[in-house]
Structure 1
Amino acid sequence: MSLFSLLGAIEIGLIYALVALGVYISFRLLRFPDLTVDGSFPLGGAVCAVLIAGGTNPWLATLAATAAGAGAGLVTGWLNVRLKIMDLLASILMMIGLYSVNLRIMGGPNIPLINDPTLFTQLQPDGVPDYVMRPVIVLVFTIACTLALNWFFATERGLAIRATGSNARMCRAQGVNTGAMVLLGMAVSNALVGLAGALFVQTQGGSDISMGIGTIVIGLAAVIVGESILPSRRVVYATLAVVIGAIVYRFFIAAALNSDFIGLKAQDLNLVTAVLVTVALVIPQIKRKLKHKSLPDAPKSL
């Protein structure tokens, strides 16, 4: 694998680490199977691309994309909390609806950003290649978001969100508004996904309506791979594991697609993803079996 391919894999892996952090909040902390991600990722990209193409400052466009993602998460949570629609069905309805919303926002299937200014062109120092600087800039965003999440989930409100996912009935008995916590958690989750979509379109040079297909699978794969590498129940280590999982996942994808002797091509991406997720799910089971076999047998009673 060339240096260009390696840095490209790290760059995309760090962007999808933000998606994985959002998926971790919904799936692991809130126990909310959220498929909104497949719609909020291109939503963030569409909002960002439209604003930048219209002459808006890239920082404001990225902020607006993040807010749009948060709004999508709020609507999904509202469908579940207020209208009592099952969580999975609510997210599916939102994902389907966002496809048309994204088309409306972009006014077509894609928006190019070839010659428009982006965060990366504004922060690009002279003499440093863009393929080197882009991963560094995305890394700063990822670290900042990870630290902010670690701080937030150590606060009273963050702990209430975690408790809502663990035992909503007990939380209500303690006077916690679990519905509000679900709404807040879903907003934070999809805000991260919207931010990832905004960064993605700025690195790839444009927004496309199909860019969100399979995003939830990538996010779940990163979470599962990360938890297999660094299993921990503490949020600080769990968020770190998610980021590592996203990078490792993307690295293996790039390595598989760039290995000539394997013979894989770009159209095999979904197959490689399925195999990697399967392996990541099986590894913990193998570890448990090996650990069980290594334990000494209990002495038999006379």
Structure 2
Amino acid sequence: MAIKITKYYFINLSLAVVIFAIGILAIRYYNHYVSAYTDVTLNSSVLNESRKVFIRLPANYNPKRAYPLIIKTDGNFNLDTWDKALTKQAKSEKGDKAILVSIPNLFFTDTRNRDLVPPYARQDVNTQARPEGETLIDRNGEADKFLAFIETELLPYLSAKYKLSNNRVLSGFSAGGSFVLYTLHTKPELFNGYFAFSPAAWYDDMTVVNNVEAFLTTQANKIKSPTYLYLSVGGAEHPLMLKAFDNLESALTANPNNNLVWQSAINEGAEHSDNPTLSVSKALAGFSKFIKK
């Protein structure tokens, strides 16, 4: 028996496919660009675009009290871990409540590498150094602009909106970790806590490591007040990541600084995506101990 297929069948089928695709896109958008906290959109003249931030206030937030500030990259990624760690810390006798601000990447435009890769490394990340006499110049990262957005637009907005203490942390994972290191060696005064989880310091033949080392060797006097740095990596991560981590440790060991307290940890058996989940509580505990000295 022949089955008659009409044009309405194809129209309905096409509509069903479109509706399904829109539904999937909506779910992805919600998971990426909507948080469980307070979502605020800032119109950035520095970046020439609107940027959303997720703001998690402590339980029983008191607007008259000054709170430490934590800014992290990558929006909703690992945000649940941060929420649990901060809740646990606040319940402990020695724990400090904090305001957490997470910056998501744009949704419809891929801005992660643009924002987080330092301006001395290629945006389209590469393991090798740039060839000499390169004729087709790859675009570099624009972490300098993203940092300017944080310094001149986001921080003033937060300072005007909330009462903040002098304790401020910048945290990032992978490319975000390289952004944390870039901030440390270019604007160390902006934060007194830096958390770099699995930092992608291997870009362009270890150029991030080299810039950090050069800073520690020749410009470490720019760290004018006590500053805390926490580095971590998963023991099962890519050999390049482990090599970069080892090189960072060597540079820090070879160039001690009275104003820079640093700790590092290798989470044995952890893959790249596992490491930040295992690192948040340890970094918070280290920073809490640091600011209480």
Structure 2 length as normaliser, TM-score?
0.28
Q: Which has the higher helix share?
A: 1
Q: Which has the greater radius of gyration?
A: 2
